[in-house]
Amino acid sequence: MWKYEKKLQYPVRVSRCDPYMAKLLLEQYGGADGELAAALRYLNQRYTIPPKVIGLLTDIGTEEFAHLEMIATMVYKLTKDATAEALRAAGLGDHYVNHGHALFYQNASGVPWTATYIQAKGDPIADLYEDIAAEEKARATYQWLIDMTDDVDLQDSLKFLREREVIHAQRFREAVEILKEDQEKKKFY
Amino acid sequence: MYSQERVYHPYVGPFDPCSPHTAKTYVLPPEVFLGFQPPTLAQFPPMEALRRGVLWPMLYSPYHGRGDRPEARDAE
Amino acid sequence: MSDPKRMDARYYELLEQLQAVDFVLVDLNLYLDTHPTDVQAIQQYNHYVQARWNLAQEFERLYGPLTHFGHSISNAPWRWSESPWPWEV
């Protein structure tokens, strides 16, 4: 069971209408290393991971949905009142004819999200190493997104999201260490 | 605090069409070094933790964007 | 024409305070997932649970329910479905 909270995890402000930046931000909405992929990856892997790590996958997977909502908020604000002409000039003409002003789960190039972006191998080390890599790739994506805008308000929210990738990667690394412990041996103490 | 950035110097070819960046940087964030987080690390107060996206200074990784990077300044 | 639903300065102030306390809880929660025996961190977590509850009470009294499905008391009329939503403010 999940419940919704009527607030963002972190404030999202954008200082001007910029549909081109919205297009770029879609990479973290419906891209391979984006927030949707992250949430679905962890919340699916958790069913077949050792008990000591299930809580962590549940909690990080849940936080990813809060990040997805932040990206959605950025895209929404950046395109909300943009004219069809402005969307076309930003390279979103093809998006507009299919979706109007709606958001859609696709990457910055317009490729729709696919489950092939994520894996569940049923092998704890294989899955956690994928998760660590996913966090580092998302961190890099946020760096390149920060480079692509000079809107300091937008940069501020993107820096928050980038730092969360750092923390998630740290926790996944710790999860690997926990699985390396010899649990049977401890029982003899 | 140790530097979270490393520099390397790519080969500059005689026919490179773009003005060459002689120094390129990459990020080495703190989780690469920390190992298992020790208990009782120093913390940011709540509002600063929110603003930085992390409760512990030890795990804070600044990123200033293209404009603040050395090779971007060199290119000006 | 001014929007009657425009949120006042107090809304943004309280919202940020709530975001700060909730953020500490999220980051401590992930830490405790991998450090389940750190009693000091658990005490800190419980302290912020209480602080969070007090702040949320104040926020909901002024601006309506933060959560659905029975986790927030409702006044009449039903305010949950009222604008603004988080992506609109």
Q: What is the pLDDT of residue A153?
A: 97
Minimum Cα–Cα distance from B54: chain C residue: C27
The mean pLDDT of A61-86, rounded to a whole number, is 98
Over residues A57-63, the mean pLDDT reads 98
A147/B65 touch (CB, cutoff 8 Å), yes or no: yes
Q: What is the pLDDT of residue B72?
A: 44
Task: Provide the pLDDT for residue A183.
Answer: 65
Average pLDDT over residues A153-164: 98
- Put simply, whether A6 touches C (Cβ < 8 Å) is yes
Tens digit of pLDDT for each residue in A114-126? 999 999 999 999 9
pLDDT of A189 > 80? The answer is: no
Cα–Cα distance between B19 and A45 in angstroms, integer?
Answer: 46
Residue B44 backbone phi and psi in degrees, to 5: -75, 150
For helices A51-79 and A152-180, the axis angle rounded to 10 degrees is 170
Q: Chain C within 8 Å of A182 (Cβ-Cβ)? A: no
CA distance A136 to chain B (A): 9
Q: Is the pLDDT of residue A166 over 90?
A: yes
Residues C47-67 pLDDT 10s: 999 999 999 999 999 999 999
Q: Could you say which of A139, A167, A174 has the minimum Cβ distance to residue B54? A: A167
DSSP character at residue A111: P
- Considering only CB atoms, A5 lies closest to which of C23, C64, C67, namely C67
pLDDT of residue B66: 74
CA distance A48 to chain B (A): 23
Quickly state the pLDDT bin for C3 (edges 50, 70, 90): low
ipTM associated with this complex: 0.94
In the predicted model, what is the mean pLDDT of residues B16-21?
A: 93
Burial environment of residue A11 by CB neighbours within 10 A (0 to 12, 13 to 18, 19 or more)? buried
Say yes or no to pLDDT of A136 above 50.
yes
Q: Which fold has domain A19-156?
A: Ferritin (1.20.1260)
Q: Per-residue b/e over C43-82, b at no fewer than 16 CB within 10 Å?
A: ebbeebeebeeebbeebbeebbbbeeeeebeeeeeeeeee
Q: By three-state DSSP, how is residue B24 classified?
A: strand
Distance in Å, alpha carbon of C76 to nearest chain B alpha carbon: 34
Chain C positions touching B47 (Cβ under 8 A) are: 16-17, 20
Which of these, B19, B22, B29, B28, lies nearest to B8 by C-alpha position?
Answer: B22
- Stretch B4-19: mean pLDDT, rounded? 94
- Residue closest to A154 by CA, chosen among A5, A7, A10, A33: A10
> Which whole number is the average pLDDT over C19-32?
98
Residue B75 pLDDT: 42
User: Does pLDDT of A54 surpass 80?
Assistant: yes
Residues 6+ apart with CB under 8 A from C41: B39, C28, C31, C32, C35
Global pTM reads 0.94
> Is residue A71 within 8 angstroms of chain C, CB to CB?
no
Report yes or no: C18 at the A interface, CB cutoff 8 Å. yes
Chains contacting chain B through 3 or more C-beta pairs under 8 A: A, C
Q: What does DSSP assign to residue B39?
A: T
Higher pLDDT: C4 or A76? It is A76
Give C28-85 as a DSSP string.
Answer: HHHHHHH-TT-HHHHHHHHHHHHHHHHHHHHHHHHH--SB-TTSS---SS--TTPSPP
The mean predicted confidence, pLDDT, of chain B is 88
Check pLDDT > 80 for residue A63.
yes
Lowest-pLDDT range, A87-91, A135-139, A181-185? Answer: A181-185
**What is the tens place of the pLDDT at every residue in B29-60?**
999 999 999 999 999 999 999 999 999 999 99
Is the pLDDT at C45 greater than 90? The verdict is yes
pLDDT number for residue B26: 94
**Stretch A143-170: mean pLDDT, rounded?**
97
Q: Residue C31 is nearest to which of B37, B47, B49, comparing CB atoms?
A: B37
Burial letters A150-166, b for 16+ CB under 10 A, else e: ebeebbebbbbbbbbbb
Residue A46 has pLDDT above 50, yes or no: yes
Q: Do C87 and A69 lie within an 8 Å CB cutoff? A: yes
Specify the length of chain C in residues. Answer: 89
Interchain pair A59, C27: CB under 8 A: no
Chain A's closest residue to B60, CA to CA, is A163
pLDDT at B65: 82
Which pair of tokens denotes residue B70?
A: 């050395």
Under 8 Å between Cβ of A131 and A41: yes
Gap from B47 CA to chain C (nearest CA, Å)? 5
Q: Centre a 10 Å sphere on the Cβ of residue B26 and count the other Cβ atoms it contains.
A: 11
At A129, is the pLDDT very low, low, confident or very high (cuts 50, 70, 90)?
very high
List the domain boundaries for chain A. Answer: 19-156
> Is there a cis peptide before residue C77, judged by omega within 30 degrees of 0?
yes
Domain ranges of chain B: 5-75
Cβ separation C87–A73 shorter than 8 A: yes
Catalytic residues of A: 35, 64, 67, 135, 165, 168
Query: Nearest CB to B53: which of A143, A146, A160?
Result: A160
Distance from CA of A149 to the nearest CA of B (A): 9
> Is A170 a residue whose pLDDT tops 60?
yes
Tokens 């603003």 belong to B51
Report the C-alpha gap between B31 and C16 in whole angstroms: 27
Tokens representing B7?
A: 């520099």
CB contacts of B54 in chain A (<8 Å) are 163, 166-167
Domain ranges in chain C are 9-63
Provide the mean pLDDT of chain C. Answer: 94
Residue pair A47/A183 in contact by the 8 Å Cβ criterion: no
pLDDT of residue C2: 46
